[in-house]
Amino acid sequence: MDALYTAEALATGAGRAGHVATNDGRLDLDLAIPKEMGGAGGATNPEQLFAAGYAACFHSALQAVARSQKVQLGDSTVGARVHIGSNGEGGFQLAVQLEVVIPDLPQEQAQQLADAAHQVCPYSNATRGNIDVVVTVSDD
């Protein structure tokens, strides 16, 4: 692969309860284990960062697909829920739910755009076959 861009981040401290920063300083965050997982909470966590990245990337892919088909998306949004749980073998696994909202399009057309975006989104391509990703489309 010929990389168009490379992002760099460094995690320090206690891992999930440590610190993460990018080499350019634009992202510089303390991390905390969520209360639901027995931690203190009060700071972001890797699952939130993954959800934010996936939502933004998928929305960009959706917009690119719409542009290529000359479709106006209007006030579209993409929400991501990243779940973490036991894999039953002593480790953990992720699952993702993406909710695509395109209020100004018929449901069938919106679903076709979301399905096409799921084929081109780098996050979708990276996770395909590795974790469950469910994409739903609604108009509100």
Instruction: Encode pLDDT of 112-140 as tens digits.
Output: 999 999 999 999 999 999 999 999 998 77
Query: How is domain 46-138 classified at the CATH fold level?
Result: GMP Synthetase; Chain A, domain 3 (3.30.300)
| Closest listed residue to residue 14, CA positions, set 30, 34, 37, 35 | 30
CA distances in angstroms from 5 to 8, 20, 21, 43, 53, listed in the order given: 10, 20, 17, 28, 15
Indicate the domain borders of the chain: 1-44, 46-138
pLDDT of 60-103, one tens digit each? Answer: 999 999 999 999 999 999 999 999 999 999 999 999 999 999 99
Start-to-end Cα distance in the chain: 38
- Residue 138's DSSP bridge partners are 101
Query: How is domain 1-44 classified at the CATH fold level?
Result: N-terminal domain of TfIIb (2.20.25)
For 13, the token pair is 């401290």
Does this model's pTM top 0.85? My answer is: yes
| Closest listed residue to residue 59, CA positions, set 80, 44, 39 | 80
